[in-house]
Structure 1
């Protein structure tokens, strides 16, 4: 008889992970590094504070303020670095006791509706309206009678056209000429603004766009086939997390770039011909 726990004791299974997946924090950290982003840049784009981003990348979710906020932070950070948040949320639920059951709604009791008292007819207003109608009818009748007696002229219709004269048909108006299609959807851009159009051709890319005063115009994923257009009075600053699939138009002209897939580009454009800053 052996003394102690058996080699196949269930307690030994607790020391081994359920699978060989990376932890949530490590997956987010690796995706961020691959996208060429710093913790400060991710914090600025997601509005998640820098200490919380560091803690999540170390798999410390105690600073999130609860499971609901932790799920929200994981979903936001995953989208910012180009990951699908659904598997990470499932992994978090599996490691933290599953998703909490929804709280049943309290039973609703319909209050007894109070029937309004029937409104009594306003006889005074009805009598006034009837008197006004009678006076108006009498005045109208008297006016028409005087007009018929004082004017003996009979209204005549238009004179018939003389025989033998052909009726002249009005010429149909010429249709307005259709505008010629432009070479680009943003060819007629305003000259006093900076206009930047980005299109993800065949792959997704993380995009960050800011105005000249630092105002964030857009921050997130641009999926394949989607387009975004940004304008500013002076300058538009861009960060492309995956610049390869991006087709770029600046001030109505296509930028002939040599971007590669997975390459991070920081660009700045002003009015006039596009020039990368």
Structure 2
């Protein structure tokens, strides 16, 4: 592989990734002249070999290639190391004639210039490498911060989950004593269906002696309950989860049909209301108007 092939490899990879010359210049901070010299393999346009090697490694790193491998390939193509270049320069700077002090002075100056070039190239390479490391490390920090913000958001409080309201004249006008199997009256909820399957014995509605204008129904711990409430002739259905309370204000009358009568507690006007019901059994309760 020669310099032109190496430069062509870098150029092809840049074009494959859809990067323009300006984008590479912005990322690597290498001038257009040096980028063109690298891609064309024009050794005459190269800066000092130390700088050229640093630019090529920076270019390769920006493309996601193995920068060390590309740098070593460049050194093999050039056919000389930094130390060999320094020795050759020193030999050329010291002719076989002339005063001794002058030869020593010229060689020292060249050596100092070469060392300055080496140090400058290393500093530039380390600066560019640090820039890429900072860019890579910055993105995960933003993601972590966003994750913390999302995790720290308080969960929305659970509220009662009423089933879609439906007015049902058929339910309101049906005789109270009709048998009601749980599988027909319960909404599509796994817990309610497991609570009781098959027909349930009909029970006569309980007439509340101590009535009020607000009735509260609360699901006991570990229980869920489907219920139908006919408030002043208007029918609504609800599903109570464990610990949830449903308040039902009324003016003239309130009829309750509980899918899990033994799984709830009822209060009327803030006072506990006693009734007899078994878990998983349908229970009907009627509250007349206040007297």
**Structure-2-length-normalised TM-score:** 0.31
**Structure-1-length-normalised TM-score:** 0.32
Q: Which has the larger radius of gyration?
A: 2
